[in-house]
Amino acid sequence: MRGVIPYGKQSIDEEDINAVVEVLRSDWLTTGPRIEEFERAICSFTSAKYGVAVSNGTAALHTAIAAAGIGPGDEVLVTPMTFAASANCIVYQGGRPVFVDVDPDTLLIDPNQVRSKITKATKAIVSVDYAGNPCPYDELNEIAYEKDLILISDACHALGAEYKGKKIGALADLTALSFHPVKHITTGEGGMVLTENDEFEESMRRFRNHGIDRTARQREADQTWFYEMTELGYNYRLTDIQCALGISQLRKLPRWLERRREIAAVYLQEFKDIKGIRMLGVTSGCKHAYHLFVIEIEGGSINRNKMFVGLRKLGIGVNVHYIPVHLHPYYVTTFGTGAGLCPKAEEAYGKILSIPIFGTMTDGQVNQVIEDVRKCLRDIF
């Protein structure tokens, strides 16, 4: 029997396993040399100045929001077409998430809508490179500059994506990455915040370490026990074990990105003129990183749900990314959000379906997905 083809999947080889085992045999399981090595490797890949490794993508977003100085009374504009963590991080610091509708073509935050939601209390924007497609950074940066806002890029889907020739990482004030197994590279759980700003970097290093000014390794090197906690922080440290895996995974990223783009090109070609399906637009002048390949099924949620059930029955691990965040009960009851707030995102939610794409997907699996999508579409339309 044929196995299920998941919508996304990690790939671990002997090189990864050996890298982890090497750390297990060393003196530093955490707070050791692999962390800086991984941070430098990601900075070199993305051209960012600083990278601060943290325990997951959610911690990366929280660390970024804290560095941006968000606190009670502050409003932060955020897209609803994302995982809850993109908005939750604002609430962690006492801020108020203000949901901004998306461009229906790309499902990325719409800069015109951003402008219309700015108030005196607005301090920052959290944009999301949904599915791996870069946001319109020129427009967002222009608004941020004009209105004195901090732009935080949730690029958890977009490691390796390019905007007008520049890799994601140095296009916003702060950029958050995730290394969850379903992402481009994995450390099990893991994340990183990238920035060009010296002050943000310093405060984020303290924030991930309880707000303490020196790490255990620095104290060891200086032969001192002394440290001070200067602000409230968290234990958001990533381990050396995980960073070793990340370094090893990163070496394979260019190959996996190429494969993702190759698969996307096949899907785009094969589904081009087929009844009942629409492909999302790509930001002009950009290279998509295809964390997800999202299609829209015409005719509303009845048809999308039929596709979901039909494809799952055939062993295609489709999924829906995402339920707009402002529709989640927590947000409805805590912030009074709900249906009608972001109509474009809500309409898209009834149509979207993520079909399988990952760096080690075979031609046979790609063909199977195409065949089964066509079959299910024929049954409906």
Ligand X SMILES: Cc1ncc(COP(=O)(O)O)c(C=O)c1O
Residue 293 binds to ligand X (criterion: CB under 6 A)? no
Question: Which residues, numbered 90-129, are part of the site for ligand X (CB under 6 A)?
Answer: 128
- Coil, strand or helix at 223: coil
Closest approach of Cβ 238 to ligand X, in Å?
11
* Comparison of 271 and 322: residue with beta carbon closer to ligand X: 322
| Contact status, residue 306 vs residue 184, Cβ threshold 8 Å | no
| Contact status, residue 168 vs residue 161, Cβ threshold 8 Å | yes
| 192 contact partners, CB below 8 Å, separation of at least 6 | 38, 39, 42, 51, 52, 53, 54, 60, 176, 177, 179
Residue 7 binds to ligand X (criterion: CB under 6 A)? no
Closest approach of Cβ 110 to ligand X, in Å?
17
Can you give the three-state secondary structure of 147-159, one letter per residue?
Answer: HCCEEEEECCCCC
| 53 contact partners, CB below 8 Å, separation of at least 6 | 35, 38, 39, 190, 191, 192, 208, 237, 238, 243, 246
Residue of 123, 167, 183, 252 with catalytic role: 183
Interface with ligand X by CB under 6 A: which range of 153-161, 165-173, 233-241, 341-349?
Answer: 153-161
**Is 252 a known active-site residue?**
no
* Comparison of 133 and 195: residue with beta carbon closer to ligand X: 133
Please select the residue that binds ligand X; options are 41, 85, 348, 377, rule is CB under 6 A: 85
Q: Between β-strands 75-78 and 150-154, what pairing exists: parallel, antiparallel or unpaired?
A: unpaired
Q: Distance between CA atoms of 123 and 380, rounded to whole angstroms?
A: 46
Angle between helix 14-24 and helix 240-250 axes, rounded to 10 deg: 150
Interface with ligand X by CB under 6 A: which range of 50-58, 238-246, 297-305, 371-379?
Answer: 50-58
Please select the residue that binds ligand X; options are 86, 127, 153, 249, rule is CB under 6 A: 86
Please select the residue that binds ligand X; options are 82, 175, 203, 319, rule is CB under 6 A: 82
Residue 156 binds to ligand X (criterion: CB under 6 A)? yes
* Comparison of 34 and 157: residue with beta carbon closer to ligand X: 157
Closest approach of Cβ 368 to ligand X, in Å?
25
Please select the residue that binds ligand X; options are 46, 79, 175, 178, rule is CB under 6 A: 178
51 forms beta bridges with 194
Residue 58 binds to ligand X (criterion: CB under 6 A)? yes
Closest approach of Cβ 379 to ligand X, in Å?
31
| Contact status, residue 79 vs residue 86, Cβ threshold 8 Å | yes
Residue at token pair 């794409």? 357
**Chain positions contacting ligand X, by CB under 6 A:** 56-58, 61, 82-83, 85-86, 128, 154, 156-157, 178, 180, 191
